[in-house]
Each structure stands twice: as structure tokens, then as C-alpha cells.
Amino acid sequence: MGVSSRREILQAGLAAAGGLAFACTRGRPSAAAETRSAPDVELALRAAPAEAILDPASRRPVGVWRYEGRLVKGRSGTLTDATTGALGPTIRVRPGDHVRVRFENALPESSIVHWHGLDVPEESDGHPRFAVGPGGSRTYDFVVAGRPATAWYHPHPDGRTGAQVYAGLAGLFIVSDGDDEARGLPVGPFDLPIVIQDRLFGPDGALAYAPNPILGMLGDRVLVNGVEDATLDVREGSTRLRILNGSNARIYKLAWSDGSPVVVIATDGGLLAAPVAKPYVMLAPGERIEIWTEFGRSPTGSRVTLESLAFDAGASGMGMGGMGMGMMGGGRGRSGPANGAALTVCRFSVRGAGRKLPLPRRLDPPAFRPAAEVVNGREPRRFEVSMAMMRWMLNGAPFEMEEVAANERIKRGVTEDWEFANLAGMMALPHPIHIHGGQFQIVSRAGASAPTVADGLVDGGWKDTFLLLPGERVRVRVRFARHAGLFLYHCHNLEHEDMGMMRNFRVET
Ligand code: C2O
Ligand code: CU
Ligand code: CU
């Protein structure tokens, strides 16, 4: 408590000082029509080199890049600094809040911030064409639309997203309406964010960024909330875990060490209609999943571990993994284990009594878009994963800053089905596909043969990122109702994205 109240005092002081500097940026024409009103929340967010302790055992500081936040205006509790590791502050806002963020780039290279999971105007979405150079800044202005959900923010510059996220630039953006207690959900200290990232350290103890060109950057240590070998102190009773896979390329198969089912209550776009019990859950880079857990349950009692179990993401997935290690793992000669290797994520040490709550039977119906609304149900728009010259692409084309193909123009407010196919044959790998511009629903999956993965896919809620397995066709139902403009869809394997597995689409009025 001491730390947080000190922070609040510090923030209040800084806010007074920041108000003046902020006044100068007010008149800039970056605000869209919907955000002409005075903001409810104003933040300053600075990306800068820093030092962080990622391994509490050694306590050795490691060079990282980090977001530092400062609350200029808004409710106390809007910003919570991560107390450990390199993660940026957790931002907490309410639906309907008008948010203004002044981003300052104190990195030695260009960057831009993207609000992953939010539906914001194009000029505030962090498109790489808006990247600002060292010393530059940019003001974001948006209204938080949509349902309460666990979103996040991270850099999005062309070709450098992977390196920058890996260096530490990422943070949670939690949208909460304050009604979770009334919904019967655990709140306060029993609502616990878990950010999972893997990292590789060089012999000097520094972060090593040596991505495999085909597989992406795979580490050999798992960091939770920014630290290695994490043990989280929790109380006995009901807890909500908000889990983000903030890794560059690693997919997790999350399960409890005592074999308890994983009870899912929410995904990318917020609460499910009802809790779903799964033997394990798959979580690909960029995805979020929220689970309900009873700590202190028998037989584990005071200790339980969140594991990532071994899996085979498809016939050629593991094969590629093996080949990657042998043939292409070269470079600096080291890489973490392939996707599908078993890993321990974190431990929970259960101490003291909390509160046991009954698991709600119903949560919040997602109100999906009915098939009758779909204008292209018979002929969905098709997007195919392909590879040429050792480069991943979408529909045979790599990313071009401003380019939009004929197949990438969509009318605002129209409901369409889009079908993503991953038929790259021998080379097929799983790809987490992410679409900017708000949440969609998953209509169907067909074609994959991945028995060690299938039971862990949670498709029953609103999503912004989904795992596309080798051999699979996934149909999603999209509608971009709020903002016209140029947005992105891409693979959230950040090295795939950086290599060009990203395209624009244009929402037209
Ligand atoms: Cu989380 Cu376009 O990315
Ligand atoms: Cu996004
Ligand atoms: Cu990919």
C-alpha cells in the first residue's frame, strides 16, 4: 500500500507540472470529431531506455526499453506502475471515457503505440505510417468504445515491432465498468493480471534478440509480469486471472499442475456468455484469456503451478520447429525450445484466507452478429497465408505502407465474413491472426488436425486475435462500424509481422 500511495502523491505533483506542458499540444488538429470534448483521462506515455530486474534471484539489472506513464488528468488508479520487470504501467479506464495520450519517443529509433483490442480512429491506432522519430511525439485521442475487456498497448513501427516489444515495451489497458462485483466476479486484489512473455538471455545476462527467420523469436525463460521464475502470492478462494500472451512468437497451452479444469470467463473482447471449463487453453501471441480459479483447492493446497503443456500444433508445425532449430537456429547459435515444448509459466503461493465466491452461471451475452446480416455469406472474402522466398505473406503480398488491394476495401457498417486459410503445405506453421478496428466473432473452423491443441481453443466470445492452425480455414464475422480509414490486419507472431505478414485494409464510407 505504501508504494501505491507514494506513487499517487508523486503523480498528483507531476500532473500539476504536466498540465502546463500539455496546454501547448491542445490546439493540434489530431483529434477526430468524436473527441472534441474535454478528455476524461489524460496521460503522458514515454518510451525510453531503462534498467530493470528481470530475475529477482540474481537481482542483476538488465538494459530494457520501457514505457513510463504519468497521469495528467483522471481518476486515481488510472495508472498502476509495474513494480517489477520492464512492463509499462497498467492503464485502467471505463467504457465511454475520452482518453488523450501524449506519447513521447525517447528511444534511439522510430516508434508508435498501438492500443490492441480497442476500436479507435485511424490516426490514433498506431499505424506504422504515423511512427515518430527519436525525440518526436504524437497525441492520441479516442473514446473507449465497446465492452469491458483486457486490452493492451505495444509499439507498432514497420519492421521493428518484434524488437521493441521484446526489449520491454508493452503494458495492459484494462477497460472496466465498475460492475464486476455486482456480477459476482472477484475484484480488487482478487482480480490479477498475468502477462506471459518468453525471453532469451545472452552469456552477459543481457536480453538477446536473435529471432529465427521462420519461427520468430523464441526464448528459453518464461517471464510473468516481467520477472523470471515468478511466484505470485495469492489468498485462498476465488480469483480472476486476466492473462495476456505478450510473447513475440510463443504459443502456450495453459493448464493447472493439479489437473483442475481451466475455467474461462472472458477472452479478447470481454466476458463470455457463461463460464466454460476446459482441460487446458491455447493462448497465442496477442490473445487474452481470463480464468476463474479457486486457490487453496485440494489436493495442492498452498502451492499450484500454471504450466504450458507440450503440444503439436499440426503435422508440419513441429517438423518445422525441429528444422528451425537445426538449420536456422544459427545466427548467434541459440534459441529457445520450439513452440510446443513444455514449460512452467509461474507458481502461486497460497497464503491466508480470501473469499470463496460461487461461480456465476451467466456472465454477459456477447450479442453476436446474426448470419442474416452478412452480405457475403456464400462467398466470404478470402485471405491466404503463403510463403515465398522465406517470407510469410498474406494473399501473396507483403506489407506496403499505404497499399490496399481490391480485396482489402470494405464498407463501413457492413457485416462480412472473412475466411483465413493456412494451407502453406510442408511449411505450415500456426499463425495468430489479428485484425485491428474492433472485435469480431469466430464463425467456424475447419480442416486442422491438431488433437493436442483443439480442446483448448476458446471461440465463443468476441475476439481480435485468433490462432490459425496449419491446414485450417477459419471464418470470422467482422463489421467496422465506427471509423473509416486505413487499418491493419496481420500475424501477431511479431517476427512474421515485421517480415511483412501484415496488410492494410481500408474502411470506406
Ligand atoms: Cu497487437 Cu497490430 O497489434
Ligand atoms: Cu491491434
Ligand atoms: Cu505468422
Residue type, 256: W
Instruction: Evaluate: CB of 116 within 6 angstroms of ligand 1.
Output: yes
Query: How far apart (Å, rounded) are the C-alpha atoms in residues 305 and 346?
Result: 6
- Each residue of 424-461: pLDDT tens digit? 777 789 999 999 999 999 999 999 889 999 999 999 99
Ligand 1 centroid from CA 132, angstroms: 17
151 exposed, middle or buried (CB, 10 Å; 0-12, 13-18, 19+)?
buried
CATH class of 188-353: mainly beta
Q: What atom of ligand 1 comes closest to residue 502's alpha carbon? A: 2
Ligand 1 centroid from CA 116, angstroms: 5
Taking alpha carbons only, the member of 301, 276, 217 closest to residue 251 is 217
Instruction: Evaluate: CB of 127 within 6 angstroms of ligand 1.
Output: no
Which CATH architecture does the domain made up of 371-508 adopt? Sandwich (2.60)
Residue type, 432: P
Q: Whose CA is nearest to atom 3 of ligand 1?
A: 116
pLDDT at position 202: 92
Instruction: Evaluate: CB of 237 within 6 angstroms of ligand 1.
Output: no
Centre a 10 Å sphere on the Cβ of residue 355 and count the other Cβ atoms it contains: 11
Q: Whose CA is nearest to atom 1 of ligand 1?
A: 116
pLDDT at position 12: 35
Ligand 2 centroid from CA 156, angstroms: 9
pLDDT at position 82: 82
Indicate the fold that domain 3-175 takes in CATH. Answer: Immunoglobulin-like (2.60.40)
Ligand 3 centroid from CA 349, angstroms: 36
Protein residues with C-beta less than 5 angstroms from the ion ligand 3: 431, 491, 493, 496
Instruction: Evaluate: CB of 473 within 6 angstroms of ligand 1.
Output: no
- Which CA distances in Å does 358 have to 183, 361, 485? 11, 9, 45
The 3-state secondary structure of 269-280, one letter per residue? CEEEEEEEEECC
pLDDT at position 338: 92
- Each residue of 25-71: pLDDT tens digit? 333 334 455 556 899 999 999 999 999 999 988 889 999 999 999 99
Query: Which ligand is nearest to the Cα of residue 464, counting in written order?
Result: 2
Ligand 1 centroid from CA 259, angstroms: 33
pLDDT at position 317: 41
Ligand 3 centroid from CA 492, angstroms: 6
- Each residue of 255-281: pLDDT tens digit? 999 999 999 999 999 999 999 999 999
Burial 276-311 (b: 16+ CB within 10 A, else e): bebebbbbbbbbbbbbbbbbbbeebeeebebbbbeb
119 exposed, middle or buried (CB, 10 Å; 0-12, 13-18, 19+)?
buried
Ligand 1 centroid from CA 139, angstroms: 19
Cis, bond preceding 299 (omega within 30 deg of 0): yes
Q: What is the mean pLDDT of the chain?
A: 89
Instruction: Evaluate: CB of 156 within 6 angstroms of ligand 1.
Output: yes
pLDDT at position 31: 43
Query: Which ligand is nearest to the Cα of residue 433, counting in written order?
Result: 3
Q: pTM of the entire structure?
A: 0.91
Q: What atom of ligand 1 comes closest to residue 488's alpha carbon? A: 2
Instruction: Evaluate: CB of 488 within 6 angstroms of ligand 1.
Output: yes
Taking alpha carbons only, the member of 201, 210, 218 closest to residue 343 is 218
User: With contact defined as beta carbons under 8 Å apart, do 197 and 207 qualify?
Assistant: no
Give me the phi and psi of 341, to 5 degrees please.
-75, 145
Ligand 3 centroid from CA 208, angstroms: 21
pLDDT at position 389: 82
Instruction: Evaluate: CB of 490 within 6 angstroms of ligand 1.
Output: yes
CA 317 to chain centre: 23
Tell me where in the chain the CATH 2.60.40.420 domain(s) lie. 3-175, 188-353, 371-508
Query: How far apart (Å, rounded) are the C-alpha atoms in residues 331 and 231?
Result: 33
Q: What atom of ligand 1 comes closest to residue 286's alpha carbon? A: 1
Instruction: Evaluate: CB of 431 within 6 angstroms of ligand 1.
Output: no
**Spans in the chain with pLDDT lower than 70:** 1-36, 298-300, 314-333
Instruction: Evaluate: CB of 66 within 6 angstroms of ligand 1.
Output: no
